[in-house]
Structure 1
Amino acid sequence: MARPVKILVLQFASIGDVVLTTPVVRCLKQQVPNAVLHFCTKRAYQSIIDYNPYITQAHYIDGSLYRLIKELRTEQFDYVIDLQNTALTSLIKATLGSRSYSVEKQPFREWLYIRWKVNAMAEQHIVDRYMATVQPLGAENDGRGLDYFIPYKDEVEIDWLPETHQRGFVAYAIGGQSLTRRLPVLRMIELCIKINYPIVLLGDKADRKVGDSIMQAVGKRQIYNACGYYNLNQSASLLQQARVVFSHDTGLMHIAAAFRKKVYSIWGSTTPQFGFYPYKTPHVRLEASGLGCRPCSVTNSGTCPMKHFKCMNSLPFDFEVKELRAKKNFE
Structure 2
Amino acid sequence: MKILIIQLARLGDIYMSWPIARAMKRKYPEAEIHFLVRERFASALEGLECVHQVHKLNTPAVFEKLMDSIEDGVECLGTFLDALQAKKFDTVVNLSFSPVSSYFTYYLGQTAKETFGYTRFSDSSFALTDAISAYYFSQVGVEKHNRFHLIDIFASMIGIDLDSDDFAYPVGFTFSSPIKDSYITVQLGASTANKTLTPFIWARVIKNFLSAHMGYKVVLIGSKEEQDLVSEIYAFNSHTDIINLVGKTSISELFPIIKNAALHVGGDSLCVQITNLTKTPCLNLSFESVKFWETGPRTKGSYVLLNIQPSHVESTEIASAIKGLLSKKPLPQLIEAVQNMPAYDLKFNLINDFEWALVKAIYLNEPYPVTEDLVFFKGIEKLNQTNSLIIETLESALDNGVGRFVKILASCDEAFMGVRQISPKVSIYIDWCLAEKIKVAPLTEIEIVESYLKVHNELKLLMRPYLLEDNTQDEVKNHG
Specify the TM-score bucket, using the shorter chain as the normaliser: 0.7 to 0.9
1:125 has 2:149 as partner: yes
CA RMSD of superposed structures (Å): 2.6
- TM-score using structure 2 length: 0.55
Q: CA deviation at 1:124?
A: 1.5
Equivalent position amino acid for 1:195 in 2: F
1:171 is matched with which residue? Answer: 185
Q: CA deviation at 1:235?
A: 1.6
Q: Contact 1:246/1:264 (CA < 8 Å) preserved in 2? A: yes
What CA deviation, in whole Å up to 9, does each residue of 1:60-79 have, x standing for no partner? 10133334312211210001
Where do 5+ consecutive residues of structure 1 fail to align?
295-308, 326-331
Residue 81 of structure 1: SS of its match in structure 2? Answer: strand
- Residues of 1 paired with 2:268 and 2:175: CA distance? 24
Name the one with the larger helix percent: 2
Q: CA deviation at 1:145?
A: 5.1
1:11 has 2:7 as partner: yes
2:222 is matched with which residue? Answer: 203
2:107 is matched with which residue? Answer: 95
Residue 34 of structure 1: SS of its match in structure 2? Answer: coil
- Residues of 2 paired with 1:237 and 1:216: CA distance? 28
Q: CA deviation at 1:314?
A: 7.9
1:185 has 2:206 as partner: no
Where do 5+ consecutive residues of structure 2 fail to align?
63-76, 118-131, 211-215, 328-480
- Stretch deviating more after TM superposition (39-48 or 264-273): 264-273
Q: Which has the larger radius of gyration?
A: 2
Residue 80 of structure 1: SS of its match in structure 2? Answer: strand
Equivalent position amino acid for 1:36 in 2: E
The equivalent position to 2:139 in structure 1, one of 84, 104, 109, is 109
**Taking every aligned residue pair, what percent have the same amino acid on both sides?**
16
1:75 is matched with which residue? Answer: 87
Q: Contact 1:286/1:316 (CA < 8 Å) preserved in 2? A: no
2:389 is matched with which residue? Answer: none
CA distance 1:81–1:187, change in 2 (3 Å): same
Q: CA deviation at 1:267?
A: 1.0
1:146 has 2:167 as partner: yes
Residue 175 of structure 1: SS of its match in structure 2? Answer: coil
For 1:247-286, what aligned pairs fall within 5 Å after superposition?
Answer: 247-272=266-291, 274-286=293-305
CA distance 1:312–1:32, change in 2 (3 Å): same
Equivalent position amino acid for 1:142 in 2: D
Equivalent position amino acid for 2:10 in 1: S
Residue 233 of structure 2: SS of its match in structure 1? Answer: helix
Q: Contact 1:146/1:279 (CA < 8 Å) preserved in 2? A: no
CA distance 1:283–1:147, change in 2 (3 Å): same
CA distance 1:223–1:315, change in 2 (3 Å): closer
Equivalent position amino acid for 1:132 in 2: S
Q: CA deviation at 1:148?
A: 4.2
- Stretch deviating more after TM superposition (188-197 or 264-273): 264-273
